[in-house]
């Protein structure tokens, strides 16, 4: 019995490392900045570029899985990733860390992530496949939730580098165990269209980068535009964000047109455009993107509340998030059990309703003193909802196509995960910062502060209000020349403003869950065991030529 699940254990271990990596770095930023004598801005650039590397090369990585064979791509990607982790752990400066983490690890991930999805689909069928995808989903969610806890503990009591050294050890173990993962597919002797690679890479990078920079540059009107030679870059008085997003979307439209052109001429596309005509797949990818947007938004807002508002450290933050991790794993198993009797659509919609309710509970828990029980209930129910979704979406997507298209769908899943995460982070970051600035300005103007103090605060915050720890506001404003009484008043106003902006952010998360509920209407309406296996659609035409 255990032998049957060796493949999912091996693939799950790789998935855990891939997901854990970025969450660990997020909670270790301040320590890494000090250790490498660099800046927070440089670290944020490294984190952003890690996402961009994956966005740019994910479809190419999926295609290489077809050309080389899925297991070979998995092995090569694991080796590349392990080398990147080792370089990151040994980094003497930010340049080396950028190379090891943002570039080399990112390139390894684009080979591993699509291969994991494809190998699960080819190693398991029927109910076992549903279970395997649920386990992979649970592993991903557990890594997201456990990342702050692991990162906080290791960074606080040991050294942040040990996390990356541990990743090397895990990936070496994965390499030795990869021979237990069957790969019945044969490498395809097909060419890779370089024009398609360029269009997809540049288009995806433009969209993702634009979304990620929106909280800094502003969505439409300039907020903090980039400055070159003392000149702010704001074409036609607008932020650069719409230019990046619209330009990237145009390139992606050109990419899709290119794929149709290649198919019409009998050549091999980077991804078959007919995949987007498969209704269950389209619904599954849309809900997956929404799920990752919600997850990213939650994991942006919750640490801000726990660390910046309440003053908890990284380890305490991880402990408060832990109920989400436990619930996610538990309800991934529950969702798998339910899939024999309930349809993916029903399970997903129950999960999305629970997400809406969870957002409301977390909203009610926000205050300047942590309402432990209410917050824990909100985190647990959020994890339950995400676990139910994780138990369904991978299997829905992979079961929508034939074996020949599993690598391509694995790549598409990676793309939608990146786009969803970027959108969730960008959207919630922009909402949080904008509402914080508005609430703080209104609070200052309606306060009993002297007119001179109000003018000084208004001038100092004219370019926006930064998210800083509430506990440090008193020292900041006292240093700026305000009296102790005025500093105490401003600290109270800022704390209240932060809580108010967090509440607005959770309202947006609830709205995202409602959008996800709408997107789920085209998910399969019958349980997995009752769906006709012939419903899998193969869109892999036999090309008459693989050249050019």
- Confidence check: pLDDT of 155 > 90: no
Distance between CA atoms of residues 140 and 542, nearest Å:
35
Question: Is the torsion defined by CA of 9, 11, 12, 13 positive or negative?
Answer: positive
pLDDT tens-digit series, residues 311-360: 877 677 778 888 888 888 888 888 888 887 889 899 999 999 999 999 99
pLDDT at 217 > cutoff 50 = yes
- The answer to whether 435 and 501 are in contact (CB under 8 A) is yes
Check: CB of residue 145 under 8 Å from CB of residue 55: no
Residue 532: pLDDT band (50, 70, 90) is: very low
Q: Is the domain 1-183 a CATH 1.20.1250.20 member?
A: yes
What string of DSSP letters covers 97-159? HIIIIIIIIHHHHHHHHHHHHHHHHHH--HHHHHHHHHHHHHHHHHHHHHHHHHHHHHHHHS-
Helices (H), 28-105: 29-35, 40-68, 70-89, 94-97
pLDDT band at 480 (very low <50, low <70, confident <90, very high): low
Q: CA-to-CA distance for 132 and 391, rounded, in angstroms?
A: 9
Q: Who wins on pLDDT, 397 or 76?
A: 76
8 A C-beta contact, residue 362 and residue 378: yes
CA-CA distance, 465 to 440, in Å (whole number)?
8
CB atoms within 10 A of CB 286: 20
- Residue 247: what pLDDT? 94
Rounded CA separation 95/349 (Å)? 45
Query: Phi-psi region for residue 91, left (φ > 0), alpha (ψ -120 to 50) or beta?
Result: beta
Please check whether residue 218 is in contact with residue 210, taking contact to mean a CB–CB distance below 8 angstroms. Answer: no
Stretch among 277-286, 310-319, 468-477 having the lowest mean pLDDT: 468-477
Highest mean pLDDT among 68-82, 256-270, 314-328, 384-398: 68-82
The pLDDT value given to residue 59: 84
Contacts of 15 (CB under 8 A, 6+ apart): 113, 116, 136, 139, 140, 143
Distance CA 322, CA 315 (A): 11
3-state secondary structure 512-544: HHHHHHHHHHHCCCCCHHHCCHHHCECCCCCCC
Q: How far apart are CA 354 and CA 459, in angstroms?
A: 44
22 has pLDDT over 80: no
Which region holds residue 453: left if phi is over 0, alpha if psi is between -120 and 50, else beta? alpha
| Chain centroid offset of residue 410 CA | 16
**78-90 burial string, b = 16+ CB within 10 Å, else e?**
bebbbbbbbbbbe
pLDDT for 433 beyond 90: no
């Amino acid at each position: 019995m255990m032998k049957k699940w060796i493949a999912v254990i091996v693939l799950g271990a790789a998935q855990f490392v891939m997901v854990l990596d970025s969450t660990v770095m997020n909670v270790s930023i301040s320590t890494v900045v000090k250790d490498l004598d660099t800046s927070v801005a440089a670290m944020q650039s490294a984190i952003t570029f890690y996402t961009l590397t994956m966005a740019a090369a994910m479809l190419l990585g999926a295609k290489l899985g077809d050309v080389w064979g899925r297991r070979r791509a998995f092995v090569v990607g694991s080796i590349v990733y392990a080398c990147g982790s080792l370089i990151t752990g040994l980094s003497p400066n930010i340049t080396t860390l950028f190379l090891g983490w943002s570039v080399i690890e990112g390139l390894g991930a684009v080979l591993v992530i699509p291969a994991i999805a494809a190998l699960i689909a080819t190693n398991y069928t029927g109910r076992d496949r549903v279970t395997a995808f649920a386990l992979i989903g649970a592993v991903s969610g557990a890594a997201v939730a456990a990342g702050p806890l692991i990162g906080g503990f290791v960074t606080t009591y040991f050294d942040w580098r040990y996390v990356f050294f541990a990743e090397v050890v895990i990936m070496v173990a994965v390499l030795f165990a990869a021979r237990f993962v069957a790969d019945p597919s044969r490498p395809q002797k097909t060419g890779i269209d370089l024009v398609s690679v360029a269009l997809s890479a540049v288009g995806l990078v433009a969209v993702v980068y634009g979304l990620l920079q929106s909280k800094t540059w502003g969505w439409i009107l300039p907020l903090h535009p980039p400055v070159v030679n003392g000149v702010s870059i704001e074409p036609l008085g607008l932020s650069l964000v719409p230019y990046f997003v619209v330009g990237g979307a145009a390139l992606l439209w050109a990419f899709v047109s290119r794929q149709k052109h290649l198919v019409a001429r009998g050549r091999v596309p980077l991804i078959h455009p007919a995949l987007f005509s498969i209704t269950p797949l389209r619904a599954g990818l849309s809900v997956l993107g929404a799920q990752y947007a919600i997850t990213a938004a939650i994991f942006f807002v919750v640490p801000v509340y726990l660390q910046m508002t309440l003053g908890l450290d990284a380890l305490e933050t991880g402990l408060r998030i832990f109920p989400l991790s436990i619930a996610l794993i538990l309800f991934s198993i529950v969702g798998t059990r339910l899939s024999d009797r309930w349809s993916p659509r029903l399970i997903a919609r129950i999960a999305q309703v629970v997400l809406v309710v969870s957002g409301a509970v977390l909203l009610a828990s926000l205050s300047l003193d942590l309402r432990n029980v209410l917050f824990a209930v909100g985190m647990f129910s959020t994890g339950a909802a995400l676990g139910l979704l994780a138990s369904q979406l991978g299997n829905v997507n992979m079961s929508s196509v034939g074996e020949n298209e599993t690598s391509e769908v694995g790549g598409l899943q990676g793309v939608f995960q990146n786009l969803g995460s970027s959108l969730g982070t960008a959207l919630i970051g922009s909402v949080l910062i904008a509402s914080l600035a508005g609430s703080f300005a209104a609070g200052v103007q309606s306060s009993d502060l002297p007119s001179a103090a109000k003018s000084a605060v208004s001038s100092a915050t004219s370019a926006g209000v930064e998210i800083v720890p509430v506990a440090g506001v008193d020292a900041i404003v006292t240093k700026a020349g305000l009296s102790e009484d005025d500093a105490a008043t401003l600290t109270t106003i800022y704390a209240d403003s932060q809580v108010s902006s967090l509440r607005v952010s959770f309202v947006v998360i609830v709205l995202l869950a409602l959008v996800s509920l709408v997107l789920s209407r085209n998910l399969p309406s019958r349980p997995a065991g009752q769906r006709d296996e012939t419903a899998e659609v193969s869109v892999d035409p036999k090309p008459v030529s693989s050249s050019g």
